[in-house]
């Protein structure tokens, strides 16, 4: 081989190596997962051996699925029953504030949070379920008892708490891509399924309105803090707790397969992972 030909071959080889180097040597994403039981996939087996037993965290939650798909380095501090205040204060002994997991090198952050604040959302569903049992599924006893109180609490307390929590995340991880997921539909728009979700027929749209208000608060808080909102309202339509076992993303109070009722199953967690990855352009 002549010197000129050898030099040309070497240059071409070097150029090809450079073209493939970014993919081969790309830095692994530093991914931190925050949030409550919808992020932790409480009740979905198997449990995450790295988590405090108090957090009821699954190794099949959507953060683990995202990390497996993208090859990201995952720090998962999701914890069942977490409220926004647990981003900056310890939730349990040995379970530090969630934002402690963040730093300036964090690349990606995901979460669901806000549903446990002030006892709304899950507590409202349980309260309405109790009221529904007393009327054998007739009327709207929960709406008659509580009126606008749940939604008023979301607007006046949960929303500002969400803004504060997201600002705390931004302060700790200023360069990260941050996403907060909305909550997938728990009930259909009308009708319901008293055998699985013992909520009176008239209270089904009442609870659906409450969830709409909560997701609206999450979305507005995301907009106020420059965070990506992952809207699950369209994707989760028709996958509520009233649907067949092979269709639903949320397990019902009765006849369900998750010991932690009214929470996502493995199918729901996979759907949440896909939605978050799409919103953040991951994978």
Q: Is 37 noted as a catalytic residue in this protein?
A: yes
pLDDT tens string for the chain (283 positions)? 444 434 433 443 333 333 333 333 347 999 999 999 999 999 999 999 999 999 999 999 999 999 999 999 999 999 999 999 999 999 999 999 999 999 999 999 999 999 999 988 878 988 898 898 888 889 999 999 999 999 999 999 999 999 999 999 999 999 999 999 999 999 999 999 999 999 999 999 999 999 999 999 999 999 999 999 999 999 999 999 999 999 999 999 999 998 999 999 999 999 999 999 999 999 7
Catalytic residue among 37, 42, 58, 236: 37
pTM of the complete model: 0.89
Alpha carbon distance 33, 78 (integer Å)? 6
Tell me the domains of the chain and their CATH numbers: 29-280 (3.40.50.1110)
Q: Which of 64, 86, 239, 263 is catalytic?
A: 263
| Active site annotation includes 149 | no
């Amino acid at each position: 081989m002549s010197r000129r030909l050898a030099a040309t071959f070497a240059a071409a080889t070097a150029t090809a190596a450079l073209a493939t180097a970014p993919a081969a040597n790309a830095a692994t994403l530093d991914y931190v997962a925050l949030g409550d039981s919808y992020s932790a996939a409480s009740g979905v087996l198997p449990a995450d051996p790295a988590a405090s037993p108090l957090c009821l965290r699954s190794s099949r939650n959507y953060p683990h699925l995202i990390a497996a798909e993208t090859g990201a380095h995952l720090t998962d501090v999701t914890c069942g029953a977490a409220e926004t205040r647990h981003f900056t204060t310890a939730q349990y002994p040995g379970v530090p504030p969630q934002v402690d997991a963040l730093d300036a090198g964090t690349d990606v952050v995901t979460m669901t949070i806000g549903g446990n604040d002030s006892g709304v959302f899950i507590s409202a569903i349980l309260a309405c379920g109790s009221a529904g049992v007393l009327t054998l599924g007739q009327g709207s006893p929960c709406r008659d008892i509580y009126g606008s109180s749940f939604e008023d609490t979301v607007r006046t307390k949960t929303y500002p708490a969400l803004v504060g929590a997201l600002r705390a995340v931004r302060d700790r991880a200023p360069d990260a891509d941050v996403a907060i997921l909305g909550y997938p539909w728990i009930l259909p728009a009308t009708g319901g399924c008293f055998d699985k979700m013992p909520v009176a027929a008239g209270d089904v749209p009442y609870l659906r309105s409450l969830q709409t208000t909560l997701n609206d608060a999450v979305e507005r808080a995301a907009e106020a803090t420059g965070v990506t909102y992952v809207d699950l309202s369209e994707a989760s339509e028709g996958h509520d707790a009233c649907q067949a076992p092979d269709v639903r993303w949320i397990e019902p109070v009765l006849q369900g397969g998750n010991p932690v009722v009214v929470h996502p199953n493995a199918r729901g967690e996979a759907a949440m992972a896909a939605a978050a990855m799409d919103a953040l352009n991951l994978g």
